[in-house]
Amino acid sequence: MSLLEENQATDLEQMVGLTRRRFIGAGALCGAAMFLGGNLLSRSALAVNATTASPLLGFTGIAAASSDAITLPPGYSASVLISWGQPLHKNAPAFDPSGNGTAKAQEQQFGDNNDGMSLFAFPGDNNRALLAINNEYTNYRYLYAHGGAPQSAEDVRKAQASEGVSVIEVQRKGGTWQFVQDSRYNRRIHGNSPIRLSGPAAGHAWLKTSADKSGKKALGTFQNCANGKTPWGTYLTCEENFTDCFGSSNPQQNFDAGQKRYGVTAASRDINWHQHDPRFDMAKNPNELNRHGWVVEIDPFDPQSTPVKRTALGRFKHENAALAETRDGRAVVYMGDDERGEFIYKFVSRDPINHHNSKANKNLLDHGTLYVAIFDAGDGNADHPKGKGQWVELTHGKNGIDAGSGFASQAEVLIHARLAASVVKATRMDRPEWIVVSPTDGQVYCTLTNNAKRGEDGQPVGGPNPREKNVYGQILRWKADKDNHGASEFTWDLFVVAGNPGVHAGTPKGGSSNINPQNMFNSPDGLGFDKAGRLWILTDGDYSNAGDFAGMGNNQMLCADPATGEIRRFMVGPVACEVTGISFSPDQKTLFVGIQHPGETGGSTWPEHLPNGKPRSSVMAIRRDDGGIIGA
Ligand code: FEO
Ligand code: CA
Ligand code: CA
């Protein structure tokens, strides 16, 4: 999500088939600037990994960089697809870089801080698609002319308008994918859009407010982190740090166990919506909090449709939603809860997916079973730990989840999924971020981004969380028993343990065998697979380029071969950004990637590089100059 989240020390090393430092190659970054459409958009770098061990990775890895530009391998170019504030329709107001644009204008413009996204191709047309793109949060520094926290109801409404989801049409013209302004599919869903609540918790007393006595009609989605795409053609947007938006006009308000566990505070976490919008004031509308923290399903091809919050998937700080299918055809949704020491979940639908009639799946995610993961301590291998795990059902009346442990119904279990998962002693993880499923062998990968508190606060060191004060993060992988995502057991290993071999000699903090001074990174966050099975890794880490992070440069995107473990740096983002959100065109010849919060702490005018220009979060389209498959 944002800056300098946490970081400190580490431990352990692993191996995934390659010898450490094997790819030490040529050297320094320099590179030629490339101008596209008049703007400096990308910079190609000299190779650092001259040799190729992997048949999957055909590009030359690049050096770390700290420039205010996109850096790519030789032979690749980037262009801006869409930026924060761009009007979605011709009659919508233009972006106002002064910060004086209105909330009403922002409701008609591309949202801020784009994050997870999915591409939906038009059937039978390879040159037309929709992109559904999350807009996670906003930077007040740039949103308002005054550059500070919201000062009025209009300010709050503008912030709410900047978050949520943007659906846009894109078309390929002359080989380049472009945003189609005024498409009838272009749509904003934001912090005040009508949204339906469905599933077992819908209508529960804890979801009722003075404005909605039914408990089924919520207003708004915000803090939309990452995403999922269902096999039946809908988009899932995941509500993550929703508690940040709430506060209380009573500074002494006592919060109950559920409210505390989800982390709401009276002072609010620098967002201060509650001061100007009573909906977010816990002293006035405490149940509003329970109407957020869900996965929301959107039909991108029906711009009139009402998005639906699917309560059967549980309420927590959702990162993303990775779809898979059981052997008997039911939908599986893997989900991480991104907070230190929180859990990994799996939802399995009651009914099978109907692959012949997509509309028949419209309520599929309302009925099913939620599970949480328990990992064993593993084999303790310092190089490449591995072990076993199991999924434990979070169903009222089972596994000690009942009135005796504080749950009156399944609705309460879902609303307080974190508390229910603690009852069954789920494994407290190092901040689970994205989860993806390999299209080639069905193995599941999950970024555990970092956790400076590992080893404290009752969080044991070991298993898939092997390092105390983990500042660098790791990528966990698991394989379902008998390759059936419906199975209750699995085996796990760590695909990579990030580290800094330039600063720390040896195993623990230098990272695993597939980390070397040329590909090192910290805080893996976004993940994506392309059709060929390349694993793309996007980072949201410490970009100070100093201390524990010396030599790592700006946040970046890397590409891995899951079979050999080789990891190569593919792209470096501009100053103080996070690289997040990834999709491919159907022919795999264009990669869409998000640059979020460039210059969040200043120091950037990317992508426009105008005098006194403001940085703007943007979605980029990356192509090979020879028109080939990305990464090959
Ligand atoms: Fe929005 Fe956990 O990242
Ligand atoms: Ca993230
Ligand atoms: Ca992150």
For residue 11, pLDDT beyond 50 = no
Q: How confident is the model at residue 506 (pLDDT cuts 50, 70, 90)?
A: confident
Q: How confident is the model at residue 42 (pLDDT cuts 50, 70, 90)?
A: low
What would the two tokens of residue 60 be? 């030359």
Least confident stretch, 38-47, 192-201, 251-260: 38-47
Q: Across the beta sheet with 76-83, what order do the strands follow?
A: 76-83, 618-624, 590-596, 578-584
The closest ligand to the CA of 450 turns out to be: 3
The one-character DSSP state at 413 is H
pLDDT at 25 (0 to 100): 26
* Ramachandran region, residue 425 (left: φ > 0; alpha: ψ -120 to 50; beta: rest): left
pLDDT tens, residue by residue, 121-137? 999 999 999 999 999 99
| Distance from residue 510's CA to the centre of ligand 3 (Å) | 21
Average pLDDT over residues 444-449: 98
pLDDT tens, residue by residue, 81-98? 999 999 999 999 999 999
The one-character DSSP state at 115 is E
pLDDT at 53 (0 to 100): 74
For residue 46, pLDDT beyond 60 = no
Kindly list the distances between the CA atom of residue 415 and the CA atoms of 198, 207, 447, in Å, as whole numbers in the listed order. Answer: 12, 9, 25
Q: How confident is the model at residue 612 (pLDDT cuts 50, 70, 90)?
A: confident
CB atoms within 10 A of CB 334: 26
Kindly list the distances between the CA atom of residue 587 and the CA atoms of 118, 548, 557, 628, in Å, as whole numbers in the listed order. Answer: 15, 40, 20, 9
Q: Are strands 590-596 and 578-584 parallel, antiparallel or unpaired?
A: antiparallel
What would the two tokens of residue 586 be? 């159907």
Residue 4: CA count within 13 A, CB half-sphere? 8
Average pLDDT over residues 295-312: 99
| Closest ligand 1 atom number to CA of residue 115 | 1
Q: What is the mean pLDDT of the chain?
A: 92
CA-based Rg of the chain, rounded to a whole angstrom? Answer: 23
The sign of the CA dihedral 239, 243, 249, 254 is positive
pLDDT at 367 (0 to 100): 98
* Ramachandran region, residue 553 (left: φ > 0; alpha: ψ -120 to 50; beta: rest): left
pLDDT tens, residue by residue, 579-605? 999 999 999 999 999 999 999 999 999
For residue 452, pLDDT beyond 60 = yes
Ligand 1 residue neighbourhood (C-beta within 6 Å): 1, 136, 225, 240, 319, 338, 433
**Over pLDDT 90: what percentage of the chain?**
88
Q: How confident is the model at residue 509 (pLDDT cuts 50, 70, 90)?
A: confident
pLDDT at 19 (0 to 100): 28
pLDDT tens, residue by residue, 391-407? 999 999 999 999 999 99
For ligand 1, atom 3, the nearest C-alpha belongs to: 1
Q: How confident is the model at residue 1 (pLDDT cuts 50, 70, 90)?
A: low
pLDDT at 383 (0 to 100): 76
What would the two tokens of residue 103 be? 């909330």
Q: Which residues surround ligand 3, an ion (CB under 5 A)?
A: 449, 525, 540
Residues 189, 307: Cα–Cα separation, whole Å = 8
What would the two tokens of residue 425 be? 């002693």
Residues 379, 15: Cα–Cα separation, whole Å = 14
Q: Across the beta sheet with 32-36, what order do the strands follow?
A: 32-36, 39-44, 70-72, 567-572, 556-560, 535-539, 524-529
Residues 418, 315: Cα–Cα separation, whole Å = 8
| Distance from residue 241's CA to the centre of ligand 1 (Å) | 8
Assess contact for 160 and 222: CB atoms under 8 A: yes
The one-character DSSP state at 596 is E
pLDDT at 43 (0 to 100): 52
Average pLDDT over residues 402-414: 98
Q: How confident is the model at residue 7 (pLDDT cuts 50, 70, 90)?
A: very low
The closest ligand to the CA of 541 turns out to be: 3
DSSP SS3 for 319: strand
| Closest ligand 1 atom number to CA of residue 226 | 1
For residue 80, pLDDT beyond 90 = yes
Of 610, 516, 531, 629, which Cα lies nearest the Cα of 49? 516
| Distance from residue 336's CA to the centre of ligand 2 (Å) | 10
**Over pLDDT 70: what percentage of the chain?**
92
The closest ligand to the CA of 4 turns out to be: 3
Residues 318, 344: Cα–Cα separation, whole Å = 10
Residues 379, 462: Cα–Cα separation, whole Å = 10
Residue type, 38: G
The position carrying tokens 């890397």 is 558
pLDDT at 5 (0 to 100): 44
pLDDT tens, residue by residue, 522-553? 999 999 999 999 999 999 999 999 999 999 99
